[in-house]
């Protein structure tokens, strides 16, 4: 099921690369969306509030072209228990603009999670597929919401992370 979701998202991204009617308008044709996000993870329909995340998000916005979609986050609860747990995702997105101050960001990519503590460390990798929206309050500041599903090689079923935070759009 997760593999099919990744394949469908890849096809949608490729199909939208040349779709100028749905691409980012000229006034937002390039730049970086950067921001701080809070995340709430879950697995098999169960939410785990204690494992909330704080992270940073970096998304390259280019008119009608794929751009990088990167994030890194950590779990404060794990740190309070003496464990450093860090998650990262790196992928690609094609920004769509269905309304003047709205961006829709479908994404697909790779995921990594690592943890280290007094007893040692471990990590795992996999793939992700996600969908985020950015509602711009001004041409350079907005609210980002999204959800990403992660399939890891040694975890049965997909983990998900729902995120919300503020972003800025900077021009090069």
Tell me the pLDDT tens digit for each residue of 5-22: 444 444 444 444 444 334
Give residue-wise pLDDT tens across range 58-70.
999 986 789 999 9
DSSP 107-163: EEEEEEEEEEETTEEEEEEEEEEEEEEEEEEETTEEEEEEEEEEEETTSSSEEEEEE
**What pLDDT is recorded for position 172?**
66
Catalogue the E-assigned strands of 14-119: 30-43, 46-47, 53-62, 67-74, 84-93, 96-99, 102-117
User: pTM (2 decimals)?
Assistant: 0.80
| Banded model confidence at residue 29, pLDDT cuts 50, 70, 90 | low
Report residue 122 as tokens. Answer: 């471990």
Any idea what DSSP says for residue 27? G
CB under 8 Å to 116, separation ≥6 — which residues? 83, 84
Fold of 2-170: Porin (2.40.160)
Do the beta carbons of residue 105 and residue 23 sit within 8 Å? no
Q: From its phi and psi, is residue 44 left (phi > 0), alpha (psi between -120 and 50) or beta?
A: left
Secondary structure (3-state) at 64: coil
State how beta strands 46-47 and 141-152 pair: unpaired
């Amino acid at each position: 099921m997760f593999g099919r979701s990744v394949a469908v998202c890849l096809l949608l991204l490729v199909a939208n690369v040349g779709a100028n009617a749905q691409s980012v308008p000229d006034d937002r044709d390039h730049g970086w969306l950067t921001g701080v996000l809070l995340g709430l993870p879950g697995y098999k329909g169960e939410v785990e509030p204690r494992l909330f995340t704080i992270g940073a998000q970096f998304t390259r916005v280019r008119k009608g072209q794929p751009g990088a979609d990167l994030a890194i986050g950590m779990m404060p609860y794990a740190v309070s228990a003496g464990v450093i747990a860090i998650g990262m995702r790196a992928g690609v997105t094609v920004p769509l603009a269905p309304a003047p101050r709205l961006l829709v960001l479908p994404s697909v990519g790779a995921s990594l999670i690592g943890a280290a503590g007094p007893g040692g460390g471990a990590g795992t990798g996999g793939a992700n597929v996600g969908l985020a929206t950015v509602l711009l309050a001004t041409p350079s500041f907005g609210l980002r919401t999204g959800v990403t599903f992660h399939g890891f090689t040694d975890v049965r079923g997909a983990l998900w992370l729902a995120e919300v935070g503020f972003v800025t759009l900077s021009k090069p």
